[in-house]
Chains A and B, each alone.
Chain A
Amino acid sequence: MAREQYDRDRRRFVKGAAAAGIAGLAGPSLVGAARASDTDWHESYDLVVLGSGFAGLAAGIEARQKGIERVVIFEKMPYFGGNSAINGGLFAAPGTPLQKKEGVEDSVDRMVADQVLSGRGVAYEGLLRHIAGNAADALKMCEDAGAEFHPYLQQLGGHSVPRTYQTTVNCGAGITQPLFRKCQELGVLTRNRCRFEKFVQDDAGRVVGVTLATRYYYDRDVSEGETINVKAERGVLVATGGFSQNIALRSAQDPTLTAEVTSTNAPGATGEAMLEMFRLGAVPVHLAYIQSGPWASPDEGGFGYVSNYSIYNFPHSVAINRATGRRFMNEIADRKTRADAELANRDEQGKPLPPILVTSYSEAIKHPSAKKVLRYGVGWKFDDLASLANKFEVPIGPLDDQITEYNGYVRDGQDKQFGKSMELAKGKLIEPPYMVVRLWPKVHYCQGGVEINANAEVVESSTRRAIPGLYAAGEVTGGIHGVSRLGSCSIPECLVMGITAAKTVAGGAV
């Protein structure tokens, strides 16, 4: 997204660097936290929440329900919901009513075991257990607020059983919109265009407030209102999400994630509040573990329509390398395994050759977004294999053989090529007509962030104690998922840890 700036002298918009030096440009603060003794307060609340995604909204609701009176959510962007409002709306939880209905055997232990495996040995098992143990309650909070879910479960990559709910609108907005309304109903103040600048600490090191630039315009990176000091009597919760859209920061962590790699994230996911927490001594954890989504399409921006379409269809589809006409991965392996496998799809010059996901049209069209995928030119239908092979320049002989071979695995219930679980592929042979989308990973999720404990308190690096008055929840925190988060495990994490933070604040001494 191009960011433009407004040149007041010429009353024109100018692009990028040319605008540098204009007075009033918002920028990072050059000093650490301000001192409370030097601060004139403009506003005062009990709980100040930064960010209006799943974690911030859930915290707002829980805080009010636990009797915290003056709660405010500040949002940097012009609209509320953060990256949560454009995510896939997929929600994993063990021991849910739908699992009971479908006869799925599952448990907190089993969900945590799946996550630990994908975390490749460095996930925080204790926090995962806390989250899985409270996920069903968080789901209920969403339903109570009016969120609606499909009446079926999905089994996402890396999950050993179907345990994933999805909103009926196939998007996180099916949760953020009801939670946002609920917050407003409960008297939580919501303020947009407020860019967090820095924390305010008292002499004992307690975080007692924040400084914010108001009337902030993200697209021009300028604040046109006054800078305000906001007092937080009982705590500040940072729920500002990841930094997938901060190209300099993410490529410093992982040099392969240059500007050429696009992202599924909302443009505001740039991580400045996380960096300010580091200034206070928060522990940076796993910042280089940045996950790309293997279900994204190079034919549309962001998460788009294809992502959810692919997630749904992967279990009964084949992903094909266009140079060889062969499969190249287990289509429901965890995200990192698949993204790495996809990135290896190159032409002879080493340029990306996005692989194709081939699905029987009769199955593909069952996904609620499938019609949109076709209509907006990000997926295609073919009556026969020859026209499909022709369109994507795939050698038809090997492709035909591959599909015949794979259909044998569908019949036998065993994938001898890549060990894919064929449970959800049962009876679903790949047959014409076909539906096809192209795949190419997009930067999706930052596993890294600040270290928190099970009370959602931010841990200080030298003392190993909680920084008083400072809480964090959601993608801004690090370590919980280890190397690679499983799909549909972020929503329960954000909600549960947002709720946890509010509970800690409510239970703590004023």
Chain B
Amino acid sequence: MSLNTRSRKRYVLSSVAIVLSLLLLGAYAYGELKEYAGIDGQSYHAEMHEKGRCRACHGVNEPESYPEDGSCLRCHEFEEIVAATIPETEEDRWQNPHDNLHYGKDVPCVECHGEHTNKAPLCANCHNFDFSDHEY
């Protein structure tokens, strides 16, 4: 395989990755609460809701309670989430919701994100930040 072919292949692969990421981002941006088999759930987790895979988060198929804090992180890589929300300017560095001034990285996910109900971000208790990208 020539170097040229290899780099072209890499180019194609990375393009596919970009397109996929954009699609994923699109899906996120349009996430909404929908009803799945009698239970409200966020549409970005549609597959789990459609298949009734409560176990994925709750650990059991007939959940009686919230999942343990940290359950989300079995699938989501926390440091990636932190990195994805790093503010653009130094002035805003402590406004990263996932690594914030008041609580650092220690706020459990479900304080700002609800799987079966929409939630307002914790910051909104005191701040008029632009929350337009917030996923409930």
A-to-B contact residues, CB < 8 Å: 1, 4, 8, 11-13, 78-81, 85-86, 169, 171, 173, 177, 192-193, 215, 217, 219, 224, 267, 299-305, 371, 376-378
Contacts and interface: CB of A to CB of B under 8 A. Distances in A.
Contacts of B136: none
Contacts of A171: 101-102
A203 to B, nearest CB: 37
A303 B126 contact: yes
A188 to B, nearest CB: 15
A85 B116 contact: no
A267 B108 CA distance: 16
A169 B94 contact: yes
A304 B129 CA distance: 11
B133 interface: no
B38 interface: yes
Interface residues of B, number: 26
Contacts of A79: 102-103, 106-108, 111
Contacts of A219: 111
Contacts of A378: 128
Contacts of B64: 8, 224
A435 to B, nearest CB: 17
B117 A86 contact: no
Interface centre among B39, B40, B94, B106, by most chain A C-beta atoms within 10 angstroms, is: B106
Contacts of B125: 1, 267, 301-302
Interface of A is mostly: loop
Contact of B103 (A173, A215, A303): A173
Given A11-B116, A301-B124, A80 B106 contact: yes
B91 interface: yes
B127 interface: yes
Contacts of A304: 126-127
B104 interface: yes
Given A13-B116, A78-B111, A377-B128, A371 B103 contact: no
A475 B40 CA distance: 41
Interface in B5-62: 38-40
20 contacts: A1-B125, A4-B117, A8-B64, A12-B116, A78-B107, A78-B108, A78-B110, A79-B102, A79-B103, A79-B108, A85-B102, A177-B103, A215-B65, A267-B125, A300-B126, A300-B127, A301-B124, A301-B127, A371-B91, A378-B128
Contacts of A169: 94, 101
Contacts of B102: 79, 81, 85-86, 171, 173
A377 B91 CA distance: 17
A504 to B, nearest CB: 30
Nearest to A84: B102
Nearest to B103: A79
Contacts of A224: 64-66
Contacts of A300: 126-128
Instruction: Enumerate the 5 nearest inter-chain pairs by beta-carbon distance, A residue then B residue, closest first.
Output: A302-B126, A224-B65, A376-B128, A13-B117, A79-B103
A78 B66 CA distance: 13
Nearest to B91: A371
A306 B15 CA distance: 46
